[in-house]
């Protein structure tokens, strides 16, 4: 029995790797995504800041210089008129525009709180909000410095005697690549595992070799194992490539336990293979399998928490995401990588994967047997 399954596995790997085109489809998307994704972040960097300065005092100029040196803004454009303001915002020439009122310096100097208007583009309000956070930081630092300069010693002013110390655990500089790469381990391998299982069965069906398997003494269980194990091997190798690149190319510190990483990855892949087999058990052509895989994969990625936090979704949708294996594994991968979570914490995220795998694998084998009969 074992050598029969072994034969099936070898065949599947040979099928996937013999053809140069096929090899390319397994490796190129992984490399492409590995090169692109880490640079695509929600971070706001080198943007353009518009300044409409109606103030003629010195303080606004001082502030503007501070903005110009901030990491978030690379260019500062000055805006002279309302028409220019409209043009700048409408044509998205600047991410946000600061409008200094004519009495800005005077008000500040006389101890009043001037109002600085921030005009944001509602078509990208989230980025605008983040950028506005940077503006606020700069303003606050400036205010404190001024306060200190104005009131030397600062003994009387109590606010200065408290401080808020912020520490970012596990990622002190909030480096986005530290977040993206561990997540990529989960995302990219999803595609590999699904395509290998669901499409390879559909292809065998179309080419008729599936009949050849069915007339052989192989049992449906063996055939399923023969599809599942190669998919595990392929996708775990893809995951290893990303893992290595994360550690050695992108220098993300791996602080966790490799055994826990691969152990949970194994169960994640099993649950994916379950979906793959399930899709292929109900499809008869490659086109259907492709559409099926795609219809599963796209929502799975959107509902994984990678692009947008799950906490922000409506409750019913959060419940649905529980059945998304990617959601669980993305957390495991990231937390084993960066937080070095222990066995029991991993277990809390892994057991849903067992449930999902049990459901999909059972479903797939029932439909499989049913279609044969």
- Under the binding rule (CB under 8 A), the answer on residue 68 touching other proteins is no
In the complex, minimum distance from the CB of residue 118 to other proteins, in angstroms, rounded to a whole number:
5
**What is the end-to-end Cα distance of the chain in Å, rounded?**
23
Chain residues 239-278 in contact with other proteins, contact rule CB under 8 A? none
**Residue 231 C-alpha from the chain's centroid:** 23
Residue from 31, 141, 157, 358 touching other proteins (CB under 8 A): that is 157
HEC profile of 249-267: HCCCCCCCCHHHHHHHHHH
Tell me how far apart the alpha carbons of residues 201 and 142 are, in angstroms, rounded to a whole number.
Answer: 64
Tell me how far apart the alpha carbons of residues 61 and 71 are, in angstroms, rounded to a whole number.
Answer: 18
Chain residues 108-137 in contact with other proteins, contact rule CB under 8 A? 108, 111-130, 132-133, 135-136
Instruction: Name which of 213 and 367 has its Cβ closer to other proteins.
Output: 213
Residue from 26, 194, 218, 236 touching other proteins (CB under 8 A): that is 218
Tell me how far apart the alpha carbons of residues 269 and 370 are, in angstroms, rounded to a whole number.
Answer: 25
In the complex, minimum distance from the CB of residue 219 to other proteins, in angstroms, rounded to a whole number:
6
Tell me how far apart the alpha carbons of residues 9 and 26 are, in angstroms, rounded to a whole number.
Answer: 17
Instruction: Name which of 277 and 346 has its Cβ closer to other proteins.
Output: 346
In the complex, minimum distance from the CB of residue 264 to other proteins, in angstroms, rounded to a whole number:
15
Candidate ranges 6-14, 76-84, 236-244, 354-362; the one touching other proteins (CB under 8 A)? 6-14
Chain residues 284-323 in contact with other proteins, contact rule CB under 8 A? 286-288, 290-291, 294-295, 298-299, 302-303, 307-309, 311-314, 317
Is 142 within 8 Å of 70 (Cβ atoms)? no
The number of CA neighbours under 13 Å toward the Cβ of 356 is 26
Instruction: Name which of 58 and 358 has its Cβ closer to other proteins.
Output: 58
Written as six digits, the tokens of 296 are 């599963």
Candidate ranges 141-149, 237-245, 258-266, 351-359; the one touching other proteins (CB under 8 A)? 141-149
Residue 226: name the closest of 241, 215, 210 by CA.
Answer: 210
Number of residues that bind other proteins (CB under 8 A): 137
**Residue 371 C-alpha from the chain's centroid:** 38
**Residue 306 C-alpha from the chain's centroid:** 3
Residue from 207, 284, 319, 362 touching other proteins (CB under 8 A): that is 207
- Under the binding rule (CB under 8 A), the answer on residue 10 touching other proteins is yes
């Amino acid at each position: 029995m074992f050598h029969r399954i072994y034969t099936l596995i070898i065949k599947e790997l040979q099928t996937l790797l013999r053809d140069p085109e096929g090899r390319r489809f397994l490796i190129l998307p992984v490399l492409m995504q590995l090169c692109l994704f880490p640079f695509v972040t929600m971070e706001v960097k080198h943007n353009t800041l518009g300044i409409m300065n109606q103030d003629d005092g010195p303080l606004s100029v001082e502030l503007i210089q501070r903005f110009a040196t901030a990491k978030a803004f690379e260019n500062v454009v000055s805006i002279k008129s309302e028409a220019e303001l409209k043009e700048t915002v409408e044509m998205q020439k600047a991410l946000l525009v600061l409008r200094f009122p004519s009495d800005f310096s005077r008000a500040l100097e006389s101890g009043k709180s001037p109002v600085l208007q921030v005009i944001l583009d509602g078509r990208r309000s989230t980025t605008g909000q983040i950028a506005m956070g940077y503006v606020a930081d700069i303003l606050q630092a400036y205010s404190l410095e001024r306060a200190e300069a104005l009131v030397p010693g600062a003994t009387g002013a109590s606010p200065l005697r408290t401080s808020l110390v912020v520490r970012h655990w596990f990622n002190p500089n909030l480096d986005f690549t530290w977040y993206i790469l561990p997540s990529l381990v989960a995302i990219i391998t999803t595609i590999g595992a699904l395509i290998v299982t669901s499409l390879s069965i559909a292809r065998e069906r179309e080419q008729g070799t599936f009949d050849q398997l069915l007339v052989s003494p192989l049992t449906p269980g063996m055939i399923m194992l023969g599809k599942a194990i190669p998919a595990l091997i392929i996708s775990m190798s893809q995951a290893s490539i990303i893992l290595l690149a994360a550690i050695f190319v992108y220098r993300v510190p791996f602080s966790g336990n490799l055994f826990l990483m691969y152990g949970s990855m194994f169960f994640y892949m099993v649950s994916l293979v379950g979906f793959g087999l399930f899709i292929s058990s109900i499809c008869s052509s490659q086109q259907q399998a492709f559409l099926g895989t795609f219809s599963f994969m796209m929502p799975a990625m959107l509902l994984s928490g990678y692009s947008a936090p799950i906490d922000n979704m409506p409750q019913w949708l959060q419940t649905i995401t529980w059945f998304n294996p990617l959601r669980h594994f993305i957390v495991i991968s990231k937390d084993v990588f960066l937080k070095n979570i222990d066995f029991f914490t991993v277990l809390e995220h892994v057991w849903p994967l067992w449930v999902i795998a049990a459901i999909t694998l059972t479903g797939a084998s029932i439909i499989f047997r049913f279609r044969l009969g």
